[in-house]
Amino acid sequence: MPYDPSLDTAPELLARAARAVGSRPDYIQGGGGNVSIKIGAERMLVKASGVQLKTVTSGSGYVLVNYGNIRRRIAGGPGGESGFYDFICAQALPVKDMKPASPSIETGFHALLNTVVIHTHSVYANILNMSAEGHALGREIFPGAEFISYKSPGPQLCSAINDRARASGPQVFFLANHGLAAAHAGVEGALELNERVNETIRRGLSLPPYPEVKFSAGLSAYNAARLADYGKSFMLENILSPDQALYCGPEALDGKGELGAVNETLTALFYILDCIRALKLTPHFLTKSDVAHFAVMKSGRYSGGGKGK
């Protein structure tokens, strides 16, 4: 029998968490980030691939999966990327009155952690994640957190998180060149943990206010000005994150494409770069092989609507 969301509070709790972080462009840009909530010993609700967190409701924008099977697959060795993502998709379960959707490639690491997981692309956490000195600095500020060196989203990242994951208790992961994950037993606890980490970074590093992201027919005035300072060549040749590799190519820098996501992503990148510069830290860019991997993703099975997210 299909899962009936009207008979459970979990879908509304998931939507509340999704909207809380998804409405913050300093936490979420475009279709990035993810939230999940486990219901029982085997099932989990997780944002669907290609969906923006701010649009998730109790009746749309998520997938029900068998997270127990995913945990067991990762514990036994997740395998290659293609087979792993096919396996995750095969764990989707029917939901009453909802069309089938694909789970995110990030579903894997959500399956490993506590009941509620909030994964963001927080610009504040990413100042630490995207600078060479950042994780050493982060360990001083958050001695109980986990710091993961860069791994491609998918089986590589899942294996790295699995080595340090706890199925219970609050836990924070800083993911190099990627984002922040906060896990807790409940939605309120996860939201509070996520906010506390971000506020600690903002205050501890005396960070400036985040720029307002305004709708624009092309690049926003802020992004156009910062792009003129850094230069198109610099932004195309120096990649900080998967989002930059996937969504900030030559056309985007010319003010074309999905401009809402483009402007949100560029604003985040320029803020991070500016703060790294002001703090006298060193940007840590992805390697050429990492970037080449995302070029394959963009043209292949993960193309169209951000299926890797």
Tell me which amino acid residue 268 is: A
CATH 3.40.225.10 holds for 5-204: yes
What pLDDT is recorded for position 309?
A: 58
Tell whether the model's pLDDT for residue 301 goes beyond 50.
no
| Alpha helix ranges (H) inside 205-287 | 221-230, 232-237, 242-247, 250-253, 259-278
Tell whether the model's pLDDT for residue 286 goes beyond 80.
yes
Residue 146 CA to residue 139 CA, distance in Å, equals 8
Determine which of 113-122, 158-167, 247-256, 287-296 has the lowest per-residue pLDDT on average.
287-296
Task: CATH 3.40.225.10 in the chain: give the residue spans.
Answer: 5-204
What pLDDT is recorded for position 297?
A: 63
Section 102-131 average pLDDT: 96
What pLDDT digit, counting tens, does each position of 183-203 carry? 999 999 999 999 999 999 999
CB 52 within 8 A of CB 24: no
What pLDDT digit, counting tens, does each position of 136-145 carry? 999 999 999 9
Tell whether the model's pLDDT for residue 125 goes beyond 80.
yes
Tell whether the model's pLDDT for residue 75 goes beyond 80.
yes
Section 87-95 average pLDDT: 97
Section 121-138 average pLDDT: 98
